[in-house]
Amino acid sequence: MRFRLLKDQAGYSLVEVMASIIILSIAIIPMVGMFDMGLNAATRGSNYDKARSLAKKQMEIAQSLSYAGVKNNFPNAPCTFDGSGLCEATNLTDPDAEFSNFRYTIRKQYVELSGTNFVNNNNDEGYMQITVIVGWGGASFNDTTYTTTSVKAK
């Protein structure tokens, strides 16, 4: 009678439970890595979008000013043209908390029209190329960058 009672009991053996745990572990461990990669990709995408927004914001400020305003007052940091027609203000920060981990550079360069392209010029002949370079990540803020350029006419 005892033998019959043991035979009729339903359930899982320890071997079956261990095998199922091993199979689940083999399936779940790679998924944890995928979640981490997905989170990193979302963070990188968010930083890129914020950098693009900051660059666009600065470019819109430049486009709203007159040529003389851009030449003399944009950005607010000191920036004087050197003998090669270049003016660069670096390591600027935006007061908005949204862009607190970003630094940007405004580069202004006198250019002239040569055929269908603009080329650098040492003198102010009515065209200025404005470049906004936004950096983020790392202590030097140059691990990753986003750049946008526009030309302003007198």
pLDDT tens per residue across all 154 residues of the chain = 555 555 656 778 889 999 999 999 998 998 888 999 999 999 888 889 999 999 999 999 999 999 999 988 898 877 888 888 999 998 888 888 888 889 999 999 999 998 889 999 999 988 999 999 998 876 666 677 888 889 988 8
Per DSSP, helices labelled H in the chain are: 2-8, 14-64, 67-73
CA distances to 48, 49, 51, 104, 137 from 141, rounded to whole Å, are: 13, 16, 12, 9, 5
Closest by CA position to 55, among listed 92, 88, 109? 92
The rounded distance, in Å, linking the Cα atoms of 55 and 38 is: 26
- The predicted model scores a pTM of 0.75
Q: How many CB atoms lie within 10 A of CB 135?
A: 21
Beta-carbon contacts of residue 65 (< 8 Å; ≥ 6 apart) = 73, 74
- The gap between the terminal CA atoms of the chain, to the nearest Å, is 105
